Amino acid sequence: MATENALYTILTEKIKQDTLVLPTLPEIALKVRSAADDPDINLHEMSDIIAQDPALSLGMLKVANNAILGRSIKVETVPQAVTRIGLRQIKSIATAMAIEQVFVSHNDVVTMYMNKAWLKTIDIASVAVSLMAMYLKEHKHTSLSLDTITLAALVHNIGVLPILTEAENHPDIFANPTFLKQAIIKLSGRIGGDITRSWGFSEEFTLLAESWSDLTILPTEVHYLDFIRAGAIYHNVFKNESTKEALLSSYTKKGILPDVDYMDSDEFKEKCDAVRAMFI
């Protein structure tokens, strides 16, 4: 407990003094985001930027060919993928595809935690994106979008990274699973907000990173938080049964779920597996 508290104290103090080292957005994501903000950019120029990064190129092809876009004709080149996804969505999707690059460590215990964190993030994102795709089919005039929930779901737990990095910097003391769990629970939301701000994301993403696990914040209207929390319920992040039942009931009333048991169905599992294939 003393070591756990020491890590918590160090992190809290660094946050107060603004000395906590935050992860940087991968360079290719910065290039894409900058290009997407250029009013004169065209699809060909964007394709050239994405083609510079093989991993991102593959990711964009996976997204473009995924069933959630509702297209049956397969695309095989980056320009085709960019054309299908569109310049408006490419900023969020490309950023989302690049996020995995920041989950890297050279310490075995920290690597294990980072891998677990990334896989859990993918699991939650797969549920959130699947539910959003269903919701958009029935609510075509909503302001919510598939590309926003994709990026939001993949950055919602980004605050774990500096905690794990701090553990990596002091492996003999902190790189122990016993000492990491509580710091992640207590601090990852606040740190996630700091990261999304440093990356120049909108306040919408900052709210999601800071508040997705804070169940005192319950939007009355359909919100991106609902979709991420549904993913957290599906993957047993929230443990309290009455809390889960209350949330699922509200999501049914909001039209996010057809019924409270829908996420237990084989149909939904297949949808999630199809979306998950974009990220692995």
pLDDT along the chain (280 residues), means of 10: 67 81 90 93 93 92 79 85 88 90 82 88 96 94 93 93 81 66 81 91 93 94 97 93 96 96 95 89
Residue 119's pLDDT is: 93
Residue 183's pLDDT is: 76
> Residue 149: which domain range?
2-24+104-276
Residue 232 counted as domain residue: yes
Residue 174's pLDDT is: 63
- Separation of CA 27 from chain center: 18
Q: CA of 228: how far to CAs of 129, 152, 154, 235, in Å?
A: 9, 8, 10, 11
Residue 240 counted as domain residue: yes
Residue 242 counted as domain residue: yes
Residue 149 counted as domain residue: yes
pTM: 0.89
Residue 270's pLDDT is: 93
Residues 72 and 68: their CA atoms lie apart, in Å, by 10
Are the beta carbons of 154 and 125 closer than 8 angstroms? yes
Residue 177 counted as domain residue: yes
Nearest Cα neighbor of 13 from 206, 212, 183 is 183
Residue 74 counted as domain residue: no
Residue 64 counted as domain residue: no
Residue 258's pLDDT is: 95
Can you give the CATH number for the domain in which 183 is found? 1.10.3210.10
Query: Can you list the pairs that 90-93 forms with residues at least 24 positions away whose Cβ atoms lie under 8 Å?
Result: 90/32, 90/36, 90/46, 90/50, 91/32, 91/33, 91/36, 91/37, 91/147, 92/147, 92/148, 92/150, 92/151, 93/60, 93/63, 93/147, 93/150, 93/151
Q: How many domains does the chain have?
A: 1
Residues 185 and 7: their CA atoms lie apart, in Å, by 13
Residue 219 counted as domain residue: yes
